[in-house]
Structure 1
Amino acid sequence: MDHTDHMRQSIDLAVSVIGGTPVERYGDPSPCAEFTVREVVNHIAFGLVLAQRSATREPWDESWKIEDGAPFLIGVPESEWAARCAEEGEATARAWAEPGVWDGDSHMGGSPMPAAVIGQMMTSEFAVHAWDVAAATGRDLDVPAALGEAVLEGILAVAPMGREGGWFGAEVPVRPDAPAFERAVGASGRDPGWTRG
């Protein structure tokens, strides 16, 4: 299994969790730093747009702001968000499966970066935020071991920058023999045992 498969699996996890989340739960709190379920879903959706543009090397639209919502969800009823995310997820996974897409440089929201770094980062992003939504709605997330290892590697690579930038919290200690994905959740500043209080 390679990075293309891991990207596909992480997108599929996120899309599946969103698809199984009732809109009535969108106002619930999540483990993701003061985000509600709705905000995590929107964040995943915006990430799909970022990742797709990175893969295709299409220019980033400077008018897009995360606080406005993912571009393809603006004005769309929340009851349709899951279906729209599934469509965007499929397009994003296909884009990252194109020959040579992981090679060379691309951009992340306009900032130049190596494509492989972006791909690894977004693979981790989709899987961890899928866990946020699952945990917020009382569900387990079944992450294959190989994907868990890839997510852990991606989280550890960006954790120092994430903490400095304020989008990762302090690492939550996890037992050393815990599954890789559980360690990734802890390294991202989340408590793998989080439950709604």
Structure 2
Amino acid sequence: MTQKISDLLETAAARALPVVRGIDDGRLGDRTPCAEYDVRALLNHLFLVVVNFQALAAREEVDFGQEPEFVTGDWRGRFAAETARLVKAWDAPGAEEGTTGQMGLPARTVGLMVLGDLTVHAWDLARATGADFVPERSVLDEVGPGLAAMAPQAREMKMFGEPFPVGERASAFERLLAVTGRDPGWRPPGAAAS
């Protein structure tokens, strides 16, 4: 049976929250695997995604062109609260039915998009700050094929880079990262490879 998006988001958030909570303010200017974002900018982007996808679950319009400054005050606590709201929004009756968003995509596809962002950006932040992150298998099983299917369109829209080459022995998560254009072996400048 297919898992509900809200259950998958709850599981993904449980893995992402320790990463976010563990980020020291002194690391906010550090580089991330997303070349265009430092840690602060990536946190702001992830906050925006989490907030906007609550609205998309409720069939409201969103504006991804605005990136407010979320990383102020108790931003770690607010991130936990916003991810809880995200789970609740996608748990609402009918949230996974029909279409949503300006592109009129199937609602479940939109839910998988935010699941992918929460999972991949948690890895980005973990890798940038030296934290550990491994997604839950159930999340990976859903988001892996979903992101692979969306990848061509995501590349056209400049949301994904070109696929990163990985070997036959790459794990399912390494293959998912590679599909998005990420180097699964990325380390911050000066960090020792494990």
TM-score bin (small chain): 0.7 to 0.9
Cα deviation, 1:85-119, whole Å, max 9, x if unaligned, reads: 11111011111112321111121xx4422211100
Provide the rounded CA distance (Å) in 2 between the counterparts of 1:147 and 1:118. 15
1:12 pairs, out of 14, 38, 42, with 14
Provide the rounded CA distance (Å) in 2 between the counterparts of 1:188 and 1:128. 9
TM-score for both structures, normalised by structure 1: 0.86
Cα deviation, 1:129-171, whole Å, max 9, x if unaligned, reads: 0000000011221212221222211221221112112221111
**What's 1:165 paired with?**
157
**What's 1:85 paired with?**
79
Matched, 1:27 2:19: no
**What's 1:152 paired with?**
144
Q: Which amino acid aligns with 1:101?
A: A
Cα contact 2:12–2:136 (8 A) shared by 1: no
CA apart distance, 1:189? 0.5
Cα contact 2:19–2:132 (8 A) shared by 1: no
Provide the rounded CA distance (Å) in 2 between the counterparts of 1:195 and 1:94. 34
**What's 2:176 paired with?**
184
**What's 2:167 paired with?**
175
Number of residue equivalences: 187
**What's 1:65 paired with?**
65
Counting only pairs closer than 5 Å after superposition, residues 105-116 of structure 1 correspond to structure 2 as 105-107=99-101, 110-116=102-108
Question: Where does the alignment leave 5 or more consecutive residues of structure 1 unmatched?
Answer: none
Provide the rounded CA distance (Å) in 2 between the counterparts of 1:59 and 1:156. 26
Q: Which amino acid aligns with 1:124?
A: G
TM-score for both structures, normalised by structure 2: 0.88
Provide the rounded CA distance (Å) in 2 between the counterparts of 1:97 and 1:153. 22
Q: Among the aligned pairs, what percent are the same residue?
A: 35
CA apart distance, 1:192? 0.7
Comparing 23-32 with 13-22, greater Cα deviation is found at 13-22
Aligned partner of residue 142 in structure 2, secondary structure? helix
Q: 1:155 to 1:33 in 2, by over 3 A?
A: farther
Counting only pairs closer than 5 Å after superposition, residues 120-135 of structure 1 correspond to structure 2 as 120-135=112-127
Cα deviation, 1:3-43, whole Å, max 9, x if unaligned, reads: 42222222333333111111110100000132101111111
Provide the rounded CA distance (Å) in 2 between the counterparts of 1:150 and 1:80. 32
**What's 2:45 paired with?**
43
